[in-house]
Structure 1
Amino acid sequence: MRDIREGLLFGGLPYRAAGTGPAVVVFPGIEGDNADSSGRSRRRNLRVFRRLSRHFTVYVVNPKPGLAPGSTLSDLAGHYAEAIRREFDEPVHLIGVSTGGSIAQAFAVDHPHLLNRLVLLCSACRLSPYGRQVQRRLADLIRAGRPRAAWAATGPALAATTIGGALFTMLMWLAGGRMNPADPADLLITIAAEDIFDAAPDLPRVLAPTLVVGGARDRFYSPELFAVTAELPPSARLCLYPGKGHVGTVAHRRAIMEIDRFLT
Structure 2
Amino acid sequence: MAKVGFRVYPQTSRETEPPAVLIHGAGGNFAQWPPQVRRLPQITVYALDLPGHGDAPGPGCTTIDGYADAVLAFLDENELPPAVLVGHSMGGAVVQMMAQRAPERVAGIALVATGARLPVSPALLDGLRTDYAAAVQRMGDWVYGPDIGPDLREDFSRNLLKQDPTILIGDFVACDKFDARADLPGYTMPALIIGGDQDRMTPPRFSRELGELLPHARLHMLPDTGHMVMTERPNQTAQLLANFIQEIGTELRDA
**TM-score where L is the length of structure 1:** 0.78
Q: 2:46 corresponds to which residue? A: 59
C-alpha displacement at 1:62, in angstroms?
1.7
8 Å contact from structure 1 (residues 24, 56) kept in 2:
yes
User: Measured at CA, do residues 214 and 250 of structure 1 come closer, stay the same or move farther in structure 2, by a change above 3 Å?
Assistant: farther
1:160 aligns with 2:145: yes
8 Å contact from structure 1 (residues 210, 235) kept in 2:
yes
- Give, as a single letter, the amino acid of the residue that structure 2 aligns with 1:171: E
| Aligned mates of 1:109, 1:241 — CA distance in 2 | 27
Q: 1:4 corresponds to which residue? A: none
8 Å contact from structure 1 (residues 157, 219) kept in 2:
yes
Q: Which moved more, 1:12-21 or 1:249-258?
A: 249-258
SS at match of 1:94: strand
8 Å contact from structure 1 (residues 117, 210) kept in 2:
yes
Q: 1:191 corresponds to which residue? A: 172
Deviations 1:70-105 (A, max 9, x none): x32122112211221231241111100111111111
Q: 1:3 corresponds to which residue? A: none
SS at match of 2:242: helix
Of 126, 143, 146, the match for 2:129: 143
8 Å contact from structure 1 (residues 122, 249) kept in 2:
no
Q: 2:241 corresponds to which residue? A: 259
- Give, as a single letter, the amino acid of the residue that structure 2 aligns with 1:49: V
8 Å contact from structure 2 (residues 116, 206) kept in 1:
yes
Note the 1:1-264 alignment, pairs <5 A: 11-19=2-10, 20-21=14-15, 22-31=18-27, 41-45=29-33, 47-52=35-40, 54-65=41-52, 66-67=58-59, 71-127=62-118, 132-133=120-121, 136-144=122-130, 146-161=131-146, 167=150, 171=154, 175=158, 179-181=161-163, 183-248=164-229, 250-252=231-233, 253-264=235-246
SS at match of 1:154: helix
Answer 1 or 2: higher relative contact order, Cα 8 Å, separation at least 6: 2
User: Measured at CA, do residues 260 and 173 of structure 1 come closer, stay the same or move farther in structure 2, by a change above 3 Å?
Assistant: closer
| Aligned mates of 2:85, 2:156 — CA distance in 1 | 32
SS at match of 1:104: helix
C-alpha displacement at 1:243, in angstroms?
1.9
C-alpha displacement at 1:140, in angstroms?
3.1
Identity %: 26
| Aligned mates of 1:214, 1:220 — CA distance in 2 | 11
Q: 1:38 corresponds to which residue? A: none
**TM-score where L is the length of structure 2:** 0.80
Gaps of 5+ in 1: 1-9, 33-40
| Aligned mates of 2:216, 2:156 — CA distance in 1 | 41
- Give, as a single letter, the amino acid of the residue that structure 2 aligns with 1:111: A
Deviations 1:174-215 (A, max 9, x none): 616x7333x433322221010121211111122110000001
8 Å contact from structure 2 (residues 143, 199) kept in 1:
yes
SS at match of 2:228: helix
| Aligned mates of 1:123, 1:179 — CA distance in 2 | 23
Alignment size in residue pairs? 235
SS at match of 1:120: strand
C-alpha displacement at 1:248, in angstroms?
4.5
8 Å contact from structure 2 (residues 190, 216) kept in 1:
yes
Gaps of 5+ in 2: 53-57, 247-255
RMSD, aligned α-carbons: 2.7
Q: Which moved more, 1:42-51 or 1:72-81?
A: 42-51
SS at match of 1:228: helix
